Amino acid sequence: MPGTGRGIAAAAGALAISMSTVPVAAAHGGSVGATDGSYRVVVHHAPRGVVVHPLQGRVAGFFVEVAAGHRLVVRTAEGVVLASIGAADTVASGSWLEERVRMPGQPPVHGHLAVVNRWRVPVTYDAAPGAIRGVVEWVPSGPHDDRSIPTGFMLGVGGGASATVAAVGLARVRRRRRAAP
Protein backbone atom coordinates (compact mmCIF):
# COMPACT_ATOMS: atom_id res chain seq x y z
CA MET A 1 0.00 0.00 0.00
CA PRO A 2 1.98 2.99 -1.22
CA GLY A 3 1.64 6.17 0.85
CA THR A 4 0.17 4.48 3.93
CA GLY A 5 3.04 5.64 6.18
CA ARG A 6 2.65 9.22 4.99
CA GLY A 7 -1.10 9.13 5.61
CA ILE A 8 -0.57 7.84 9.15
CA ALA A 9 2.08 10.49 9.79
CA ALA A 10 -0.14 13.28 8.46
CA ALA A 11 -3.12 12.16 10.54
CA ALA A 12 -0.96 11.80 13.67
CA GLY A 13 0.57 15.22 13.13
CA ALA A 14 -2.81 16.89 12.66
CA LEU A 15 -4.15 15.14 15.77
CA ALA A 16 -1.14 16.13 17.90
CA ILE A 17 -1.30 19.77 16.83
CA SER A 18 -5.06 19.99 17.37
CA MET A 19 -4.74 18.38 20.81
CA SER A 20 -2.03 20.84 21.83
CA THR A 21 -3.94 23.95 20.72
CA VAL A 22 -7.49 23.09 21.81
CA PRO A 23 -6.82 23.62 25.54
CA VAL A 24 -5.23 27.01 24.81
CA ALA A 25 -8.19 28.16 22.73
CA ALA A 26 -10.72 26.64 25.15
CA ALA A 27 -9.05 28.40 28.07
CA HIS A 28 -9.71 31.68 26.29
CA GLY A 29 -13.33 30.90 25.49
CA GLY A 30 -12.39 29.99 21.93
CA SER A 31 -10.57 33.27 21.35
CA VAL A 32 -6.88 33.69 22.10
CA GLY A 33 -7.38 37.47 22.45
CA ALA A 34 -9.86 37.18 25.33
CA THR A 35 -8.82 38.00 28.90
CA ASP A 36 -8.08 34.90 30.95
CA GLY A 37 -6.48 34.57 34.33
CA SER A 38 -7.20 34.11 38.01
CA TYR A 39 -7.57 35.93 41.29
CA ARG A 40 -4.79 35.73 43.86
CA VAL A 41 -5.04 36.64 47.55
CA VAL A 42 -1.87 38.32 48.83
CA VAL A 43 -1.12 39.06 52.50
CA HIS A 44 0.83 42.29 53.09
CA HIS A 45 0.72 42.57 56.88
CA ALA A 46 0.15 40.37 59.91
CA PRO A 47 0.99 40.82 63.61
CA ARG A 48 4.60 40.00 64.53
CA GLY A 49 4.89 36.29 65.35
CA VAL A 50 2.02 35.30 63.05
CA VAL A 51 2.68 33.64 59.68
CA VAL A 52 -0.31 33.79 57.32
CA HIS A 53 -0.74 31.54 54.27
CA PRO A 54 -3.70 32.53 52.07
CA LEU A 55 -5.92 29.70 50.84
CA GLN A 56 -6.98 30.60 47.31
CA GLY A 57 -10.55 30.15 46.09
CA ARG A 58 -13.87 31.88 45.42
CA VAL A 59 -14.14 32.33 49.18
CA ALA A 60 -10.63 32.84 50.47
CA GLY A 61 -9.34 31.36 53.66
CA PHE A 62 -6.24 31.55 55.78
CA PHE A 63 -3.93 29.02 57.36
CA VAL A 64 -1.96 30.66 60.15
CA GLU A 65 0.91 29.72 62.40
CA VAL A 66 1.19 31.46 65.76
CA ALA A 67 4.44 31.60 67.74
CA ALA A 68 4.65 29.57 70.96
CA GLY A 69 3.14 31.32 73.96
CA HIS A 70 0.88 33.63 71.90
CA ARG A 71 -2.81 33.60 70.96
CA LEU A 72 -4.56 34.93 67.86
CA VAL A 73 -8.34 35.39 67.89
CA VAL A 74 -10.36 36.15 64.74
CA ARG A 75 -13.99 37.27 64.98
CA THR A 76 -16.73 38.00 62.48
CA ALA A 77 -18.10 41.54 62.18
CA GLU A 78 -20.80 40.44 64.66
CA GLY A 79 -18.18 39.32 67.20
CA VAL A 80 -18.52 35.56 66.71
CA VAL A 81 -15.17 33.77 67.11
CA LEU A 82 -14.02 32.24 63.79
CA ALA A 83 -10.68 31.02 65.10
CA SER A 84 -8.74 31.04 68.34
CA ILE A 85 -5.22 29.79 67.76
CA GLY A 86 -2.41 29.48 70.24
CA ALA A 87 -0.50 27.19 72.58
CA ALA A 88 1.81 27.70 75.55
CA ASP A 89 4.78 25.59 74.54
CA THR A 90 4.66 25.03 70.77
CA VAL A 91 3.82 26.77 67.52
CA ALA A 92 0.07 26.51 66.97
CA SER A 93 -1.74 26.54 63.66
CA GLY A 94 -5.29 26.77 62.40
CA SER A 95 -7.41 27.90 59.50
CA TRP A 96 -10.72 29.54 58.62
CA LEU A 97 -12.67 30.74 55.59
CA GLU A 98 -12.81 34.51 55.38
CA GLU A 99 -15.82 35.99 53.60
CA ARG A 100 -14.54 39.54 54.07
CA VAL A 101 -11.91 38.81 51.40
CA ARG A 102 -14.13 38.96 48.33
CA MET A 103 -13.46 38.21 44.69
CA PRO A 104 -15.22 40.43 42.14
CA GLY A 105 -17.91 38.81 39.99
CA GLN A 106 -16.20 39.59 36.70
CA PRO A 107 -12.50 39.93 35.87
CA PRO A 108 -11.17 43.25 34.60
CA VAL A 109 -11.40 43.77 30.85
CA HIS A 110 -7.74 44.76 30.55
CA GLY A 111 -5.05 42.11 30.29
CA HIS A 112 -2.59 43.18 33.00
CA LEU A 113 -1.97 42.56 36.70
CA ALA A 114 -4.33 44.65 38.83
CA VAL A 115 -5.39 45.03 42.45
CA VAL A 116 -9.17 44.48 42.46
CA ASN A 117 -9.84 44.52 46.21
CA ARG A 118 -8.06 45.68 49.37
CA TRP A 119 -9.06 43.85 52.53
CA ARG A 120 -8.52 43.97 56.29
CA VAL A 121 -9.33 41.26 58.82
CA PRO A 122 -9.36 42.59 62.41
CA VAL A 123 -7.73 40.23 64.93
CA THR A 124 -6.76 40.18 68.56
CA TYR A 125 -3.19 39.08 69.21
CA ASP A 126 -2.31 38.52 72.86
CA ALA A 127 -5.36 40.62 73.84
CA ALA A 128 -4.18 43.59 71.72
CA PRO A 129 -6.11 44.71 68.63
CA GLY A 130 -4.41 44.14 65.31
CA ALA A 131 -5.16 43.21 61.71
CA ILE A 132 -4.19 40.99 58.83
CA ARG A 133 -4.19 43.08 55.65
CA GLY A 134 -3.69 42.48 51.98
CA VAL A 135 -5.14 42.61 48.50
CA VAL A 136 -6.87 40.50 45.89
CA GLU A 137 -5.05 40.68 42.57
CA TRP A 138 -6.21 39.81 39.08
CA VAL A 139 -3.41 37.87 37.39
CA PRO A 140 -3.98 37.43 33.66
CA SER A 141 -2.57 34.34 31.96
CA GLY A 142 0.32 35.01 29.67
CA PRO A 143 4.09 35.11 29.41
CA HIS A 144 4.44 36.92 32.78
CA ASP A 145 2.39 34.26 34.58
CA ASP A 146 4.54 31.29 35.60
CA ARG A 147 1.47 29.05 35.75
CA SER A 148 0.60 29.39 32.07
CA ILE A 149 2.11 27.26 29.33
CA PRO A 150 3.09 29.36 26.29
CA THR A 151 1.33 28.49 23.05
CA GLY A 152 4.68 28.13 21.23
CA PHE A 153 5.78 25.53 23.76
CA MET A 154 2.54 23.59 23.30
CA LEU A 155 2.96 23.68 19.52
CA GLY A 156 6.53 22.43 19.96
CA VAL A 157 5.34 19.55 22.13
CA GLY A 158 2.61 18.75 19.62
CA GLY A 159 5.09 18.92 16.74
CA GLY A 160 7.55 16.70 18.59
CA ALA A 161 4.83 14.18 19.35
CA SER A 162 3.67 14.16 15.75
CA ALA A 163 7.24 13.67 14.48
CA THR A 164 7.67 10.72 16.86
CA VAL A 165 4.39 9.13 15.78
CA ALA A 166 5.31 9.70 12.12
CA ALA A 167 8.71 8.09 12.55
CA VAL A 168 7.23 5.05 14.32
CA GLY A 169 4.50 4.69 11.66
CA LEU A 170 6.99 5.00 8.82
CA ALA A 171 9.31 2.42 10.40
CA ARG A 172 6.41 -0.06 10.71
CA VAL A 173 5.39 0.41 7.07
CA ARG A 174 8.98 -0.13 5.91
CA ARG A 175 9.30 -3.29 8.02
CA ARG A 176 6.07 -4.66 6.58
CA ARG A 177 7.24 -3.95 3.02
CA ARG A 178 10.54 -5.74 3.64
CA ALA A 179 8.80 -8.70 5.25
CA ALA A 180 6.28 -9.05 2.38
CA PRO A 181 7.21 -11.79 -0.22
Which string of DSSP letters, residue by residue, matches 91-121?
-EEEEEE-TTSPPPSS--SSSS-EEEEEEEE
Q: What is the pLDDT of residues 77-98, one digit of tens each?
A: 899 999 999 988 889 999 999 9
Pair 97, 11 in one domain: no
Other CB atoms within a 10 A radius of the CB of residue 76 amount to 13
Q: Which residues pair with 124 in a beta bridge?
A: 73, 129
Q: Which residue, 45, 63, 38, 55, is CA-closest to 138?
A: 38
The type of residue at 40 is R
| Beta-ladder partners of 96 | 62
Contact assessment for residue 141 and residue 147, using Cβ atoms and an 8 Å cutoff: yes
Model pLDDT, residue 175? 76
> Does 54 lie in the same domain as 25?
no
Q: Are residues 119 and 133 in the same domain?
A: yes
- The answer to whether residues 80 and 43 belong to one domain is yes
Pair (124, 51) in one structural domain = yes
- CA-nearest of 147, 143, 58, 38 to 99 is 58
| Same-domain pairing of 117 and 172 | no
**Same domain, yes or no, for 22 and 93?**
no
- Number of structural domains (the chain) is 2
* 116 and 94 share one domain: yes
Q: How far, in Å, CA of 144 to CA of 149, rounded?
A: 11
What whole-number distance in Å separates Cα of residue 39 and Cα of residue 57? 8
Q: Kindly list the strands in the beta sheet with 81-86, ordered across the sheet, starting from the edge strand earlier in the chain.
A: 37-45, 128-140, 114-125, 71-75, 81-86
pLDDT value of residue 31: 39
Domain coverage including residue 172: 4-32+147-179
Q: What is the pLDDT of residue 34?
A: 45
State the pLDDT at residue 128: 95
Same domain, 43 and 126: yes
pLDDT, position 73? 96
What does pTM read for this prediction? 0.58
Positions in the chain short of pLDDT 70: 1-35, 143-170, 173
Q: Sign of the CA dihedral 97, 49, 92, 79?
A: negative
Contact 12, 169 (CB under 8 A): yes
